[in-house]
Amino acid sequence: MDYDPMAMDDAESLGPVVKISQADNTRVKFELSNTELNFANSLRRVMLAEIPTIAIDLVEIEANSSVLADEFIAHRLGLIPLNAEGIEQLLYSRDCDCDEYCEHCSVTLQLHAKCTGDDIMQVCARDLVPVGDRVNQVLGSPVINDPDGHGPLILKLRHGQEIKLSCIAKKGIAKEHSKWAPSAAIGFEYDPHNKLHHLDLWYEQDPKKEWPPSEYADWEEPPQEGEPFDYDAVPNRFYFNVETAGPIPPDAIVTEGIKVIQQKLAGLIHELTESDGGDGGYNGPRSPGYNEGGDNWNDQGSFTPYGNGGNQSSWGGQGGATPYGTTPYGGGGGSWS
Amino acid sequence: MGKVTKFGDDGEEVTMKETPTSHQPEAHDDVSMADAGEEGEEGEEEFEEETSKVRLLPGSTPTAASFEFLEENHTLGNALRYVIMKNPDVEFCAYAIPHPSEAKMNVRIQTYEGTTAVEALRKGLRDIQDLCDVVSEKFLEARQEFTEKKAAASA
């Protein structure tokens, strides 16, 4: 069945395909095709909420005679994007051996400003000074992208007012607090002509006139006049628009996102393989006591945490040698290949 | 568990045992390794955390099992469900998040004879891993191509 003639033109129409349409320092726009909605959505969700970055988490205020309350300033500080390059070398504070925080699991930034002139003073992110040892020279530094090099405004001081504080920035993910989000926004779109009827467009007279066409509308065939509804069709081409908030470059958000999924899966497989025997499971009559974790783990054979998904894989170790759409699972791909 | 005492409003000593049963944590009787570990060793917190991410729910047979994943959500659930359903040896697979304020995700797998639910789950996880590898590779390729094209255009 020819669901999507455009996709069939691709020489590689059998495996997932990525096409980048725009990329710069702040965003990457790409099309992911020949995957399922489920996977594309997993990628989107993971990029939104589960990529580790660094953000100010604790604020110790020594002096604050500004007009803003301590907790108000602390909240503002938390939202300042910090450079997350090399974040993988930083530990989560909860996994660290130290009591509260140390240089292995945090970056300390200090802020001290006093307005001595008559003009109102602006205290910006560039005034946050990283102190002490760091994993590398950029991790935890405020991200400054404006032409003046000030960074986000934190607060303003009048003559005689002073602010003195130190901030502890920690590693975290946006699922816990959105200040750790690497992306400002992730555009996610499929089926621009709404052929699948996943959307029910509100309208007054005519939805075609009232709804502007998507920027991707030209990329796909518009529906033919009087074309019957294809109830077997599934979404196949997904348009991502990943915009960074500053901590990591946009393309790194995508690769890191995939890495996070990989780690999640690797952890689960590892655990499943381990607990299997311990639960008195289904892989033969082994007693729980007999099973040391290591032994059992090896018994399962050829498990690698990253990639090359083991000898049972239908994909081949090199990845992409056997395209996803033609796994021995068969059936499922039928509607579009 | 040690005997915990607290003082009532009138200063009278009340033992925890006398509080209504609904306030006392119920003992779990399922056969979970994680639970057994939790009660046994208090010291090895990290170890416990790692081993209790997924467990088999009670009432499972080799070919029909329910799994409980902790700290997982639709991100993994939907993709996993789909990829497991694609396995021809699997009769049924579904996932649910029983309550939105509990970070738990349940997956039900029923397979035909010849394989086990645990095996199907493992295969599902590996298949997503492989898919990730390919997409990652394709993305890096596309990025390379894009930067080259851009460099060529500006030169």
Mean pLDDT for each consecutive 10-residue tract of chain B (155 residues)?
43 46 46 42 44 86 94 94 95 96 95 94 95 94 93 87
Minimal Cα–Cα distance from A167 to chain B, Å? 27
* Residue A24 clears pLDDT 80, i.e. is over it: yes
**Domain contains B29:** no
pLDDT at B86: 94
Paired with A188 in beta bridges are: A240
Contact B142 A258 (CB under 8 A): no
Residues 9 through 38 of chain B touching chain A, CB cutoff 8 Å? 31-33
Listed in sequence order, the DSSP H helices in chain A are 5-9, 37-49, 70-78, 207-210, 250-278, 293-299
A2: pLDDT confidence band, cut at 50, 70 and 90? very low
Decide if B6 is inside a domain. Answer: no
The interface predicted TM-score (ipTM) is 0.72
CATH number, domain of B91, equals 3.30.1360.10
Phi/psi class of residue A34: alpha, beta or left (left: φ > 0; alpha: ψ in -120 to 50)? left
CB A259 within 8 A of CB A265: no
Percent of chain A with pLDDT over 90: 69
Instruction: Assess if residue A258 is contained within a domain.
Output: yes
Looking at per-residue confidence, does B136 or A320 come out higher? B136
Residues above pLDDT 70, as percent of chain A: 77
Task: Examine the domain organization and report whether A233 and A311 are in the same domain.
Answer: yes
Q: Token pair of A321, please?
A: 């040698």
How many structural domains comprise chain B?
1
Identify whether B40 is part of a domain: no
Q: Name the minimum distance, in Å, from the CA of B111 to any CA of chain A.
A: 13
Q: Identify the band that residue A276 occupies on the pLDDT scale cut at 50, 70 and 90.
A: low
Distance between CA atoms of residues B80 and B54, nearest Å = 14
CATH of the domain at A168: 2.170.120.12
Range of the domain at A136: 53-180
**Does residue A191 sit within a domain?**
no
A189 lies in some domain: no
B62 domain-assigned: yes
For residue A226, tell me if it sits in a domain.
yes
pTM: 0.74
Chain mean pLDDT for chain A: 82
For strands A27-33 and A237-244, give the pairing. Answer: antiparallel
What average pLDDT does this structure show over A314-322? 38
| Residue B152 domain-assigned (yes or no) | no
Query: Is residue B81 within 8 angstroms of chain A, CB to CB?
Result: yes
Are A25 and A69 in the same domain?
Answer: no
Nearest CB among B75, B136, B138 relative to A17 is that of B138
In a domain, A35, yes or no: yes
Residue of B nearest to A324 (CA): B131
Range of the domain at B105: 55-125
A167 Ramachandran zone, left/alpha/beta (phi>0; psi -120 to 50): beta
Check CB contact under 8 Å for B54 and A268. Answer: yes
Contact B123 A312 (CB under 8 A): yes
Closest Cβ–Cβ partner in B62, B118, B143 for A20: B143
